Amino acid sequence: MLLKAEIIAVGTELILGQIPNTNAQVISQALQEIGIDVYYHICVGDNKERLKEVFQTSFKRSDIIILTGGLGPTEDDLTKETVAEYLNLPLKLDENSLNRMKDYFKKTGRQIANNNYKQALIPEGAIAIENKNGTAPGVLLKYGDKIIVMLPGPPREMEPMLKETVIPYLSKMSTTTIFSRILKFYGIGESDLEERLKDLIDSQTVPTIAPLVGRAGEVTIRLTAKAGSKEEAQKIIRPTEEEIIKRTREYFYGFDNDSVEEIVAKLLIKLNKTISIAESCTGGLLAHKLTNIPGISASFDRGIISYSNRSKHELLNVKNETLENYGAVSEETAKEMAEGIRLSSGTDIGVSVTGIAGPDGGTAEKPVGLVYIGYADSSTVCAQRHIFSGRRIDIKERSANSALHLVRKMLQKLENPSNR
Amino acid sequence: MLLKAEIIAVGTELILGQIPNTNAQVISQALQEIGIDVYYHICVGDNKERLKEVFQTSFKRSDIIILTGGLGPTEDDLTKETVAEYLNLPLKLDENSLNRMKDYFKKTGRQIANNNYKQALIPEGAIAIENKNGTAPGVLLKYGDKIIVMLPGPPREMEPMLKETVIPYLSKMSTTTIFSRILKFYGIGESDLEERLKDLIDSQTVPTIAPLVGRAGEVTIRLTAKAGSKEEAQKIIRPTEEEIIKRTREYFYGFDNDSVEEIVAKLLIKLNKTISIAESCTGGLLAHKLTNIPGISASFDRGIISYSNRSKHELLNVKNETLENYGAVSEETAKEMAEGIRLSSGTDIGVSVTGIAGPDGGTAEKPVGLVYIGYADSSTVCAQRHIFSGRRIDIKERSANSALHLVRKMLQKLENPSNR
């Protein structure tokens, strides 16, 4: 049986456009992977009458209804109350949830407030879902042949509850699997990539082939197949996947949730190499990305954010004459920064970024978006020139991403010298 | 008359979670500014039957229905067809739109394809909306006392059409303005804040008072009033706004789109103070946030990401005995880091972060989430202890945010010594 699901996000802040409904996207992706079709996303405000009307429509047409938001302690929060009322179920205190909430408050050094108690109420017959990152438990309710799930609105609370409890529970009920494989590329545009694969895309049946523009200069392709099991779907996808990678090898860098920072971190650890970072226009973003990966402290020694010329000279030994003759944004400075941080920190690799993130500070000769990435190891010192467009934050993102891809390529050469 | 609107986004890629429904957020914000209430957002796939069912529900309950997506040239694109069929209106060729489409293709050096012709069809009696960034015209249809708007899905096509044509058209019909003021707080929980304001919240009529959990430990309150003009609405909000701030002064930090990094950057520049950063567990995020603000290079000199103990000693002069006796994650190390970066960089202020971001590395005595923030200026050296929960990235976010709020408080004391 094919299960139909829909997602109801509750919150006036959503329909006022104050925050985006990112939860619907995350939940849809997770349901799709376990073969459950999502047919509708709904957003409705914190209004009992309208929520009830929306829930009634969803309850009649779908097998699984996932609600997010409206589980907070305030009077505005009425998701559980409304659903329970519609289904004629009383709300009962869940002792476990209350105890966890008390522990949570104790741990964060705060007092439990009176209105938090209502967060521990769940509809009779429901199972509470533990919330490790907040106070509101989630609710999993089997009602006749329908499943109703209620999760908190904040993504950092919702996502772990979805992945650790809701998806494992629902996947037991689904008999088909939709399996997607994502291939990730860097250094090639969407249309160029599409032209290389035109014959495959034009004649596609199974798997389906969908190119998507990714973030910060990346392009991705999604291959999707439906089958009785994940293994079967993978078997359907594999020949197309291999053909695509064969044709695009120099741009392909990873699968699915691979991130370039994770690939770099794993290569550093695997190859037992240490790294240090000297960054200017990215202002810490490059090191931030790399240090998002657990375990990186084995390889990452230090970073220097040399915003001023003085700090480039004092901390990175960039020569004053280099700064005077070529400027802080130049190939020469990028190289000296990379070599300077490598030598002063005693790491195997040094990487640097210097550029103009804007919105001011550009000239005709050195426009906003001009960025140099430097790289140094014991045998190589080199730099790359880029011109990126967009806002200050986009230029920072693109620059940090480029630096990571440069380090990835250099590490992959070290890992497999014959290959590239 | 109060106009009620809803937004229907059409596209299988939306309900599969492949792309977020950013259009709904943008349209909601624009409608709110002209006093039109949005009550629902719906996403539905490229499926005629389900779209018709959704449209029927919306048509019955709302005055204005804005549809996005499904105006493309392919057989999947059936928004116009479905709406016209439901309303019993024939589709007619719009010559202007066809000519503009031919020009568009000429300009981009491509040939018009046969299936593009259907994009120039619009329901009888409707007005076509010019699309400057793509081929599909939009549709504006007055049907009885209802308004139906159809816009293309890609944001870069949709947004100019919304702002240049749809909003000016709809604003003529609306006689009210909805104005919202957002108050931002740090260092107090949502329920604590609400208890302080309980009498105001319980007796609210105008303006409405809605507390929201913000990101990274922040809480916000939205005050909303409806009036004939923005000025009138502001006048309605002001007394409540002042009363709330009076009661919560020590936690209140900004309005609307204010961010703590922006407030800190402006205070630094205004007070002519320079700053340097020494961070460990945040791995560059603190400096990244501060350097997102244009013009910060006047105040921010440098940052050091001292991931290793060796780098804390070498670059920040943290004493080896401090590291041995108290550990890298301690009040003493945080203070020495802040003072060390201040002295070595010669800036007025030094700020530091050291902690355990996890997921590994915690002990019973020093658990994951334990973070110390240090601060040093010419007269003060101090540190704060925090325990944050969540994933590695959440702990980094909370830590960087805390450090910014600490600097904000210290700068505000400098700015106005009597006040705090």
Cβ–Cβ gap A360/B294 under 8 Å: yes
- C-alpha closest to that of B237 among B257, B207, B198, B200: B207
Alpha-carbon distance B96 to nearest alpha carbon in chain A (angstroms): 30
Of B192, B301, B307, the CB nearest to A308: B301
Res. A420 pLDDT band, cuts 50 70 90: very low
Could you tell me if B240 and B248 are in contact, meaning their C-beta atoms sit under 8 angstroms apart?
no
Distance CA A296, CA A197 (A): 36
- C-alpha closest to that of B123 among B155, B86, B163, B159: B86
pLDDT on residue A326: 97
Residues of chain B with CATH 3.30.70.2860: 177-255
Of A15, A24, A284, the CB nearest to B38: A15
pLDDT on residue A213: 62
Of residues B323 and B112, more confidence is placed in: B323
Could you tell me if A185 and A193 are in contact, meaning their C-beta atoms sit under 8 angstroms apart?
yes
Could you tell me if A96 and A144 are in contact, meaning their C-beta atoms sit under 8 angstroms apart?
no
Q: What is the mean pLDDT of chain A?
A: 92
- C-alpha closest to that of B330 among B340, B338, B322: B322
Cβ–Cβ gap B41/A21 under 8 Å: yes
- What percentage of chain A reaches a pLDDT higher than 90? 73
- What percentage of chain A reaches a pLDDT higher than 70? 98
Res. A402 pLDDT band, cuts 50 70 90: very high
Distance CA B214, CA B192 (A): 14
Three-class secondary structure of residue A346 per DSSP: coil
Cβ–Cβ gap B21/A28 under 8 Å: no
Beta pairing, strands B146-151 & B218-227: unpaired
pLDDT digits (tens, 9 = 90+) for A265-316: 999 999 999 999 999 999 999 999 999 999 999 999 999 999 999 999 999 9
Cβ–Cβ gap B283/A301 under 8 Å: no
Three-class secondary structure of residue B274 per DSSP: coil
Nearest CA in chain B to A104: B389
Q: Which CATH number fits domain B4-171: 3.40.980.10, 3.90.870.10, 3.20.20.70, 3.90.180.10?
A: 3.40.980.10
Query: Per-residue pLDDT averaged across B9-26, rounded?
Result: 92
Query: Per-residue pLDDT averaged across A193-216, rounded?
Result: 81
CA-CA-CA-CA torsion for B392, B394, B395, B400, nearest 10 degrees? 130
Distance CA B393, CA B401 (A): 12
Q: Which of left, alpha, beta for A271 (phi over 0: left; psi -120 to 50: alpha)?
A: alpha
pLDDT exceeds cutoff 80 at A1: no
pLDDT on residue A210: 79
pLDDT on residue B420: 47
Could you tell me if B275 and B298 are in contact, meaning their C-beta atoms sit under 8 angstroms apart?
no
Q: Which residues of A touch B108 (CB under 8 A)?
A: none
Q: Which residues of A touch B42 (CB under 8 A)?
A: 40-43
Cβ–Cβ gap B304/A307 under 8 Å: no
- C-alpha closest to that of B47 among B78, B21, B22: B78
pLDDT digits (tens, 9 = 90+) for B192-249: 898 899 899 888 778 888 887 667 788 999 898 888 888 899 999 999 999 999 999 9
Structure tokens at A11: 């919150």
Distance CA B368, CA A148 (A): 34
Cβ–Cβ gap B284/A292 under 8 Å: no
Of B18, B213, B302, the CB nearest to A306: B302
Query: Per-residue pLDDT averaged across A235-240, rounded?
Result: 95
Nearest CA in chain B to A38: B15
Q: Which residues of B touch A347 (CB under 8 A)?
A: none
CA–CA distances in Å: residue A182 to residues A34, A248, A368, A404, B5? 16, 14, 33, 20, 37
Helices (H) and strands (E) in chain B, counts: 16, 17
Q: Which residues pair with B371 in a beta bridge?
A: B355, B386
Distance CA B235, CA B253 (A): 21
Q: Enter the DSSP assignment of B333.
A: H
Candidates A305, A312, A389: best to mutate against B (most CBs of B within 10 A) is A305
Half-sphere exposure for A27 (CA within 13 Å, toward CB): 31
- C-alpha closest to that of B91 among B56, B137, B29: B137
Distance CA B200, CA A188 (A): 57
pLDDT digits (tens, 9 = 90+) for B146-199: 999 999 998 989 999 999 999 999 988 877 777 889 999 999 988 889 889 989
Residues of chain A with CATH 3.90.950.20: 260-415
Q: Which residues of B touch A300 (CB under 8 A)?
A: 283, 307
Q: What is the mean pLDDT of chain B?
A: 92
CA–CA distances in Å: residue A214 to residues A194, A219, A399? 14, 5, 15
Which CATH code fits B177-255?
3.30.70.2860
CA–CA distances in Å: residue B4 to residues A145, B10, B36, B143, B186? 35, 20, 6, 15, 35
pLDDT digits (tens, 9 = 90+) for B96-143: 999 998 888 887 677 777 778 889 999 999 999 999 888 899 999 999
Nearest CA in chain B to A20: B25
Candidates A43, A54, A156: best to mutate against B (most CBs of B within 10 A) is A43
pLDDT on residue A284: 98
Q: Which residues of B touch A73 (CB under 8 A)?
A: 190-191, 194
Cβ–Cβ gap A113/B294 under 8 Å: no
Of B25, B192, B390, the CB nearest to A17: B25
- C-alpha closest to that of B354 among B324, B329, B326, B325: B329
Candidates A52, A190, A291: best to mutate against B (most CBs of B within 10 A) is A291
Structure tokens at A315: 């901390």
Cβ–Cβ gap A73/B191 under 8 Å: yes
pLDDT digits (tens, 9 = 90+) for B235-287: 999 999 999 999 999 999 999 889 999 999 999 999 999 999 999 999 999 99
pLDDT digits (tens, 9 = 90+) for A57-77: 999 999 999 999 999 998 889
Backbone angles phi, psi at A293, to 5 degrees: -90, 120
Alpha-carbon distance A42 to nearest alpha carbon in chain B (angstroms): 5
Residues of chain A with CATH 3.40.980.10: 4-171
pLDDT digits (tens, 9 = 90+) for A330-371: 999 999 999 999 999 999 999 999 999 999 989 999 999 999
Architecture of domain A260-415: Alpha-Beta Complex (3.90)
pLDDT on residue B205: 79
